[in-house]
Every structure is written in C-alpha cells, then in structure tokens.
Amino acid sequence: MSVEIVRIPVLDDNYVWLLHEPESGETVAIDPAVAGPVLAEAERRGWTIGQIWNTHWHGDHIGGNDAIKAATGARVSAPAAEAGKIPSLDVPLREGDSVRIGAVEGMVMEVPAHTAGHIAIHLPSEQAVFVGDTLFAMGCGRLFEGTPAQMYANMDRLAALPDATRVYCAHEYTQSNGRYALVAEPDNGAIRVRMEQVDAARARGEATVPTTVGLERETNPFMRAGSVEELARRRAAKDVFRG
C-alpha cells in the first residue's frame, strides 16, 4: 500500500476514513460525519486535509464537510446525482469518473439503492474500496431510496472485485449483521466461525472493519443471495430482526 488509511470512530457507530499519500503529502477525509475528531486526528499526524470524498448525502456522512472545508479549504467531491442535497459539493462524481490522492487513482462506481445517487470509490492499486452504506460486514444498507434489484446488482458488482480487496464501510454493524446472518444461513459454518471472532473482538473493544470481498463472499447473506427475490426477502427480514 502506498496510501495510509486511518479509521476514526465518531458518533455512536460511524467510521470516518482518513487517507494520506506520503509522497505528495495529500490527505483525504471520506464521509466525515463530524469535523472535530477528523481535524484533530489529521493535526496530530501533521496532515492537512485537502479533499473530502462523500459516498452519499446522509447527514452522518456529510455533517463535517462545511467545518473541514472552512478550516482547510478542502475540495468536496460527491455524487453528482445528489448535488442538491450536498451544499458544499465542488466536484460532482459520476460512474467511471476518477479521483486522485497523489498519484493513486480511485474509480467511481455508482451503487444506488441505499440512496438514489450513492457511489463507491475503488482504489485498485491499494486493493481497497470505500463503500459508504452500500456494503457492510455481513450486511448491506437499507433500501431507503432504491430497489432490491439495484442492491442485488451492487452486491454482484462488488463481489466481482478481487477477493483480497479491503472493504471500508462506514459503520460498526458487524455484530448485529452477523446475528441475522446466522439465522439467514444456519448451515453456513463460515458464519459461525466468523461470529466467534467478531464477538471476541468486540468484547476487547476492537473494530471489525475493514473486511474483505473474499470474506463477504463466504459470509454475507446479501452478497450470497441467489436472486433479487431472495435478497428482497432477506432485506425485509433484517429490517425487523431483533436478534
């Protein structure tokens, strides 16, 4: 990896990702829910945030944009389809566009369903993809503005990335997702093994993300759904699951 990636926990269960490319000195904040902890972590490391990348418009992903922009002059890149909901937007992003941190290029993937214009950013050279609220460890985002067919297509598309690709999602939902995964696929031994590891990690106060595409292919009931209908049934069941 040529980019350093730092996880910043904020609010109840959000993660902001701070990226730094040492050769250029450039730093990017991804989905800054709030500004204070993000600016403080960058300052502690001697970094200056020059860019913000947003995956979608929800307040717990853009809430820190304005204050970070005011403090650093950072340029905000976000989904073109959600421009009206992201007032600080400078650079509208569409499918196939690229973003850069130093010499490292990221490719924009449109992955609508959680929101109508949601994007993910894939950095092939870093074997990393930043997915916001589309894909979680053993889960996927709620369908607030999209359809099961869209989310099914998203899961297929992300599953096609190399197994070693690290998946940087924006929430610590793994334990609750895993409890549902055990119900959705009770005969999947890989889920049982993973949940033992997740429960132990959380008991120690440790984060469970990033995950990897390969691990999600084995244990994520939404990525493993065999049809749009099966994903729809699983998403509806998870929406009311209280396990």
Residue by residue, pLDDT tens for the chain (243 residues) are 799 999 999 999 999 999 999 999 999 999 999 999 999 999 999 999 999 999 999 999 999 999 999 999 999 999 999 999 999 999 999 999 999 999 999 999 999 999 999 999 999 999 999 999 999 999 999 999 999 999 999 999 999 999 999 999 999 999 999 999 999 999 999 999 999 999 999 999 999 999 999 999 999 999 999 999 999 999 999 999 987
Statement to judge: residues 141 and 213 lie in one domain: yes
So what's the pLDDT on residue 243? 75
Whole-angstrom distance, CA of residue 158 vs CA of residue 92: 22
Which structural domain range is residue 3 located in?
Answer: 1-94
145: its two tokens: 């503005």
DSSP string covering 159-216, please? Answer: HTS-TT-EEEESB--HHHHHHHHHHH-TT-HHHHHHHHHHHHHHHTT-----EEHHHH
Q: How far apart are CA 152 and CA 166, in angstroms?
A: 20
Contact 63, 57 (CB under 8 A): no
**Three-state DSSP class for 16?**
strand
Residue 3 shares a structural domain with residue 88: yes
Please count the other Cβ atoms lying within 10 Å of the Cβ belonging to residue 124. Answer: 14
CA distance 39 to 44: 9
103 within a domain of the structure (yes/no): no
- Residue 214 domain-assigned (yes or no): yes
- For the chain, the domain total comes to 2
Task: Please check whether residues 78 and 157 belong to one and the same domain.
Answer: no
114 domain-assigned: no
Give the per-residue pLDDT at 1: 73
- Rounded to the nearest 5 degrees, what angle is found at the Cα of 133, between the Cα atoms of 38 and 93? 80
Q: Would you say the pTM of this structure is higher than 0.95?
A: yes
| Domain-embedded: residue 116 | no
Mark whether 143 and 234 lie in a shared domain: yes
Q: What is the DSSP letter of 124?
A: G
Q: Is residue 87 located within the same domain as residue 151? A: no
Residues 77 and 151 in one domain: no
Q: How far apart are CA 168 and CA 164, in angstroms?
A: 13
Same domain (yes/no): 86, 141: no
**Tokens (6 digits) for 35:** 């500004």
- Claim to verify: residue 150 and residue 76 sit in the same structural domain: no
Final residue belonging to a domain, choices 94, 111, 145: 94
* Strand-pair category, 75-79 with 91-93: parallel
Classify residue 102: in a domain, yes or no.
Answer: no
Within this chain, do residues 86 and 140 fall inside the same structural domain, yes or no? no
Q: Looking at residue 205, what is its pLDDT?
A: 96
Residue holding tokens 């992903």? Answer: 61
Q: Supply the Cα-derived Rg of the chain in whole angstroms.
A: 17
User: 233 and 182, same structural domain?
Assistant: yes
* Distance, C-alpha 1 to centroid of its chain: 19
Q: What are phi and psi of 198, to 5 degrees?
A: -65, -45
Residue 126 confidence (pLDDT): 98
155 lies in some domain: yes
Residue 56 belongs to a domain with what CATH number?
Answer: 3.60.15.10
CA distances from 71 to 20, 42, 240 (A): 18, 12, 41
Residues 150 and 67 grouped into a single domain: no
Q: Which two tokens stand for residue 192?
A: 């049982």
Residues 139 and 214 occupy one common structural domain: yes
Tell me if 109 sits within 8 A of 122, measured CB to CB. Answer: yes
